[in-house]
Every structure is written in C-alpha cells, then in structure tokens.
Structure 1
Amino acid sequence: MSITPKRESALMSAPEAKSLESTAPGRSARAEQRRVAFLDAAREVFLEQGYEAASMAEIVSRAGGSLSTLYSQFGDKEGLFLAVVERRVKELSNAMALELSAHTPAEEGLRRIGQNFVAQLLTPAGVGLYRIILGLAPKFPELSRQFYEKGLSEVRDALAEYLRDREQACELKLRDPLRAAHFFLEMVRGTMAHRALLNPGYFPDAEEINSVVEDAVSLFLDGLRQR
C-alpha cells in the first residue's frame, strides 16, 4: 500500500522533520536568487538582441543554472519576457504604493511620484524595453496586449489608488480616478518619452524632469482640488 506525502511526513522522526524544515527556506532563497539572475541576464539579452533573436541558451549561459530550471520558472520565452517587464513595472508602481501608505499630501506625493516615474521610465533599459514592445505589436499582438494589461494598467491602477486616498482626505475631487491617473502619467512623461523613443542619444536629466513634473503637478491639481 502506498503512503501519501502527508502520511510520510507524519512518520518522519523529529530530527528528520526539523532538518527538512531548515533546508526549505534555503532552497527557496536559492530559487529566488536563480530567478533574479535569470531576469537580469534576460534583460541584457533582450536589449542587445531583441525579442525574436534572443536565445534562451544564451540567457542560461550568462545567468548560470540550466535550461530546464529556466523553463520551469518562466514557461517559455514569452513568459520570461513578460516577467522582465513585470519586474520593471513593480519598480514603477512601488513608489506610488509608498505614498499611498504614508497618506502623503497630494502636491508632495504627486511630485515624488512623477519624478520617480519619469526617472525610472526613461533610462536606457526602460526605453529599450519599450522600443522592443512597440516593435512586437504587429507580429505578436497578444504579447503587447499582456504588456498593457499587466504593465501599464498596474502603474495606472496604483496611482488611482493614491488619488482615491487623497480624495478621501478632501484634497481632490475626482470623477474618474483611473482616467485622472492616466492623464497625470501622460502629462509627466509627455514629450520627454516621445523624444527618447525617437532620439537614441537623448535622456532627460534631473533638472529637466523636475521642471516638467512641477508644471504637470500644478496643472493637474488646478483642475482637481476641492473648491
């Protein structure tokens, strides 16, 4: 008669169970380290070679590990690429979550959110990934759709939550928090993003970013402050 995994754990001696418990976190930590290494290597390869030319074997060669581990963690190249994008999105939305948790007043919070959003978005890696996604749209529309749903929407939703919090604090008056969040993000990245996409040598410095964000925050709040 076979013994189920649950029954097997019940038959383990106390030292064996303790040993198993102590190694589980180690295995989890190693798996996370491997995942980070895969994502770092994948971003490099995608940026250097593009999506279609990128080789999973090359990614493993740079990151270490094995192809089987790479596929078990991400499924396929599409899953890996989306994971690279999702990690980037988390970096963009985390700043908004921080301002939400701190209940930062709208003017101060939006200023920091805007500065962080543009500074991280318009890096060589950020612009490079966005160029790849734009190029993929005609041939891989599903991949581009998932980028929009898992990427841009998550950033917009995170900002909308912060705006709702400021509305509850009687600072803002919103008709549609999601649309307001979308407008703000478009205002702060605006011409800088278009210029960066079309001019490979252009990346805005801190002074330019701060100037554009200051103007965007003022214009945005002028239309949304409680009267």
Structure 2
Amino acid sequence: MPLTDSPPSPTNRAELRRKAFLQAAREVFLEQGYEAANMSEIVRRAGGSLTTLYNQFGDKKGIFLATLDESLSEITHAMEVESQSHAPARDGLTRIGIQFVSQLTRPDSLETYRLIVGLARQFPDVAKSFSEKGPDKVRAALASYLMDREEAGEISAENPTQLASLFLDMVRMGLQSRALLDSDFRPTQEEVEATVSRAVDIFLNGVATRPL
C-alpha cells in the first residue's frame, strides 16, 4: 500500500493560516494604506474566515503590528545568534549590520517605513506600538550582544542601549535615507558591505589618530 502524507495537525494548520493572513495583510497594507485596508480583503486573499482572523490578531491594528513584528524577527534573531555564539565583536557586528541594512533597504521595507511615517500624526498609537515592536526590540537585541562582548573583555559598554542606537544609525542612515528619497536607488551588496565595514571600524576604533 503506498504511503501517503498525514494531514497537518491542528497546530500546523493554524500556523499555516496565520502565515497566509500575514502575507495577505502585508500586501493589502502596502497597496491600500493603513486606513483604507479592509479586513475582508485580507481574508479574501488568504482564505479562512473573518472570525479566525479576529481570533488570531484581534483587530486591524493587531494584524498590522504582527506583520511588522514578523519582518523584524529575522534581524533580532540574527543578533541573538551572534550573542549566543559569543561571536567576536568585529565579526558579529559586521554580520548584524549587513543583515540590518539589507532588510531595511528592501522595497517592501521602504514602503512600510513610508507608511509608518505617514501614520504618525493620524494614528500615533500605531506608530508608538511600531516603535516598541520594531526599533526598541532591535535595539534591545543588539544591546544584549554588546553586553556579551563587554563580558568577554572586547569592548566597554557602559550604556549598551545607547551604543546600540548609535551603531544602528551609523549603518542604516546613509543607504536607507537615499533609498527612501530616490525610488530608483537600490544599494548593491558591495555598497552595503562597504558601508557596514566603515561603520564597524569607526564604532570600534573611532576616527581620531590621537587624543583631541
């Protein structure tokens, strides 16, 4: 008798449904904006039911923030990997920086950023929640890695959260700002790596050749 694949368990089915909802929601929000996005349209694209959608995410704000959380989970995971493996500061920061910048300069990430900025005045609670789920979470993950490197004796991290903010701004600002303002610009891998390499050098060593 030929073997057949067993049907997915209820837990797996729920996870597959969640992923389908998130993918559809991301498309709808980017195409229609936050205010005009319709929960029924998300269900139409993803399948399932409105009841299931509301049960999993609560409301439109809930699923919107969940799409942001999922997209940023790759970045925070990368930082956690470097911390858990106790990677040397230069190697770890380089990998973290490249992943961070590559993620932020993807077309969908740029559109999401523009969307968030546009929401800040009319829906400040959504923008605040994004900050807590996005930048704050990423910053905390990097701060944890910096503390690991301080414990290893590689760096001095008296204020790891502030240092994390400084490093993230150093690696992202130039390329992300240019990509946001110029829709034709997409940084190459070489440009990303060169930007991150310079930022890591300055972050770890500074720019002065002698005390000023």
TM over 0.5: yes
Q: Do structure 1's residue 130 and structure 2's residue 113 form an aligned pair?
A: yes
Q: Distance in 2 between matches of 1:60 and 1:174?
A: 47
C-alpha distance in 1 between matches for 2:171 and 2:51 = 42
Q: Distance in 1 between matches of 2:76 and 2:160?
A: 16
Aligned-pair distance for 1:149? Answer: 1.1
Question: Aligned ranges for residues 195-214 of structure 1 at < 5 Å?
Answer: 195-214=178-197
**Selected match of 2:177 from 189, 194, 207:** 194
Letter in 1 for 2:60: K
Partner residue of 1:218?
201
Structure 2 counterpart of 1:79, from 54, 62, 81? 62
Per-residue CA deviation, residues 105-160 of structure 1 (Å, 9 max, x unaligned), is 00000000000110111101111111110000000001000111111100000000
Rounded to whole Å, the distance in 2 between the matches of 1:216 and 1:172 is 16
1:6 is matched with which residue?
none
What letter matches 2:145 in structure 1?
A: Y
Map 1:11-26 to 2 at 5 A: 26=9
The structure carrying a bigger helix percent of its residues is: 1
Residues in 2 aligned to 1:221 and 1:109: alpha-carbon distance in whole angstroms? 12
- Whether contact under 8 Å (1:92, 1:121) holds in the other structure is no
What secondary structure is seen at the aligned counterpart in 2 of 1:137? Answer: helix
**How do 1:43-192 and structure 2 match up within 5 A?**
43-192=26-175
Name the CA distance, whole Å, in 1 between partners of 2:184 and 2:60.
Answer: 29
Partners of 1:214 and 1:42 lie apart in 2 by 35
1:148-183 Cα shifts (integer Å, max 9, x gaps):
111110000000000000000000011200000000
Letter in 2 for 1:61: R
In the alignment, the residues of structure 2 paired with residue 199 and residue 135 of structure 1 have an alpha-carbon distance, to the nearest angstrom, of 18
Query: Which residue does 1:32 correspond to in 2?
Result: 15
Q: Which amino acid aligns with 1:55?
A: N
The structure 1 segments of at least 4 consecutive aligned residues displaced by more than 2 Å after TM superposition are: none
| AA at the equivalent of 2:102 | A
Q: Using the alignment, how far apart are the partners of 1:151 and 1:121 within structure 2?
A: 12
CA distance in 1, matches of 2:29, 2:179: 19
Instruction: For structure 2, list consecutive stretches of 5 or more residues without a partner in the other structure.
Output: 1-6, 207-212
Identity among equivalent pairs (%): 53
1: CA distance, partners of 2:159 / 2:167: 12
Report which of the two structures shows the higher radius of gyration computed on alpha carbons: 1
How much does 1:32 deviate? 0.7
Q: Tell me the number of residue pairs that the alignment of Structure 1 and Structure 2 aligns.
A: 201
